[in-house]
């Protein structure tokens, strides 16, 4: 079974967990549980840091807002004017 390449996330810890998961197809089935457990633990730890004051984690990039009307802007809808 070929594993598909993954796109880097910019966080080396997340990339490490995803790479371990991507390599599961090349490993015997009995080796899957510890890999899944370790990746899950690592991702839970990273996500838990997002809620800890004083430990904001790695800053990310700000996304772009939708254009007017795409997200209910001035043309009506949620948050827009009727």
Cα separation, 5 vs 13, whole angstroms = 17
Three-state SS across the chain? CCCCCCCCCCCHHHHHHHHHHHHHHHCCHHHHHHHHHHHHHHHHHHHHHCCCCCCCCCCCCCCCCCCCCCCCCCCCCCCCCC
pTM beyond 0.85, yes or no:
no
Structure token digits, residue 2: 């070929």
Range of weakest confidence among 36-40, 59-63, 73-77: 73-77
Q: With pLDDT > 70 as the criterion, what percentage of the chain qualifies? A: 55
- What confidence tens digit (pLDDT) does each residue in 21-44 have? 999 999 999 999 999 999 999 999
């Amino acid at each position: 079974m070929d594993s598909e390449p993954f796109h880097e996330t910019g966080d080396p810890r997340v990339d490490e967990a995803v790479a371990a998961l991507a390599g599961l197809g090349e490993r015997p089935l009995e080796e899957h549980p510890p890999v899944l457990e370790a990746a899950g633990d690592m991702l839970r730890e990273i996500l838990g840091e997002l809620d800890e004051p004083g430990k904001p984690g790695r800053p990310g990039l700000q996304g772009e807002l939708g254009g007017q009307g795409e997200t209910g802007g001035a043309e009506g809808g949620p948050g827009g004017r009727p």
